[in-house]
Amino acid sequence: MTYRLNVAAVTVVPFISLLYVGCSLDPNAHTRAADNRHHERNGGHVVGKSRNETAEKHRTATRSAARRAPRRSAGKKIRAIFTPKACKLRKLPVHVRQPKLVRFVRMNGKPMWAYLYSRLMELWSADGSRKVASIQMPGTPLDSVQWPADSITVVFGRDRTHPRGRFLIYNYRFVNGTLRAARMYAPSTTRPDLNSLKVRGGKLYITHFLSKYVAQTMVYDMPGNKPRVLNKDKMLFDAEPVGNDMVFVRLYGDSPGSKGGAYFLSKNNKLQLKTVSGGRAVALADLDGSGKKRIYVADGWDKAYRDKARPYISVFEPGNPKLKDRLTMDSGFGVFHLIPADIDGDHQDELVAVTNTGIFTVDQASEVRHLGDIRGMASPVQVVDVDGDSMAEIVISEVPGYCEVK
C-alpha cells in the first residue's frame, strides 16, 4: 500500500553579513567613535578601548551563533522535515518569494496552485510553470478554503510577523481569467485570531475569537448571505455538525488555565463529553464502513503543554457522552488538525491527524500509523486529490511537493 503526502519545502534565506569600511588604521575606531558620541549625547561616559573590544567579541559570538542556529523561513515559523526512510520528496518549482499558504484548487475545472503571500495571491498552473492570475489582498492570510466552486475564501488576521492584522473574510471568484474580490465579514474584535475553518455539506463553518477569551462559531450558506451565529463560548476552538446538532470543543474551561472539553449542543440539550481535557479540533467520520459515523476529538491539551499535554484522540458515539475509545499519537504535545479523507484509494476514509511533531493516520481498525515527522507548530492543512488518482494528498505550509510514504 502506498501513501502520498504533500509537504512543505522551505526555502532558506542565506545569512548576510554587513561589512563596515573605515578610513582609520584602528579597525575599532569607527565603532568606538559612534559609541562615544551616543554616550556623550545621553550624558554617559566615553567608552574605552577595553569595553569596546568586549562588545566586539560579543557581536562576533552573536554572529557565529546565528550562523550555527537552524534557518527559518521569513514568512512562517514551521517547516516539514520527513525522514529519508519514510518518504522521497519531489519538489515543485519555487517561485519568487516564500508564500504563507499554498492551496490546491480547481478553477473552471482546471487544477491550479494558489500561492498566498502577506498581501498578494497568485494562481499558478498545476505544473507550476505559468502564472494564471494575481490579485492584491488586504492583509495576512491565516487560512483559506475553496468555497464555493470556482472561488477561494480567505481569512485574514494577525500572526507573529504581523501582530496588528485585522480580522477579515474575503471571497475571491475566478471569472474570465481574473480574480475578483468581495468582502464577506469584517467584525469588530480585539483578538483577530482564527481557530478553525472548514466546509461541511456545502456550508462554511468558521470559529474565531471576539475578545481575549470569548470565541464564536458561525456558518455561511452562501458568500453573499449574512452568517448565522451558532454558539459563543469561552475558548471555543472548533465545531462539527452532527445531523441537526453540533459538537464544540474548548481549549480551556471557564477560568483561564482550567481544563476545557467537548460537548453536544442541540436546541433543547447540552451534553458534556467525557474527555481528558481541552482540545483544538473535532471531526465526524465513518472509518470502518459501517455507515455509522463517530466523533473524533483532539484531546489532552493542558496549559503546561510542553510538560502535561498529550496527543490524544478521544472517540464517541453521537448522542452518547461515554468514551468509546482513546487513541494516542507517539509524538507531539497536542493534535492540531483532524481531517477525514481517503488517502489510499480504497474508497474508505482514513483520519489524518497532525501534531506539532508528526503526521498520522487512523485506519479502519483504529490503528494509528506514523507517516512522517514535522518540526514546529502545525500549520493549516489541506487534504485533497492533487493528481486525480482517487487518493488524497496532504498539503502543508508554503511550497508544495510530493512525498511517497510506503
Given a contact cutoff of 8 angstroms between Cβ atoms, the answer to whether 98 and 73 are in contact is yes
Q: What is the pLDDT of residue 102?
A: 84
What pLDDT score was predicted for residue 94?
54
Locate 9 and state its grid cell.
519545502
Report the range of poorest mean pLDDT among 43-52, 151-160, 200-209, 274-283. Answer: 43-52
In this prediction, residues 214-225 reach a mean pLDDT of: 94
Bigger pLDDT: 200 or 12?
Answer: 200
Q: What's residue 33's pLDDT?
A: 43
What mean pLDDT, rounded, does the chain reach? 77
Task: Give 388's contacts (C-beta < 8 A, 6+ positions apart).
Answer: none
Closest listed residue to residue 371, CA positions, set 8, 114, 6, 90: 6
∠ CA(91), CA(94), CA(98), 5° rounding? 120
Centroid of chain to Cα 269: 33
pLDDT attached to residue 258: 78
Question: Whole-model pTM?
Answer: 0.77
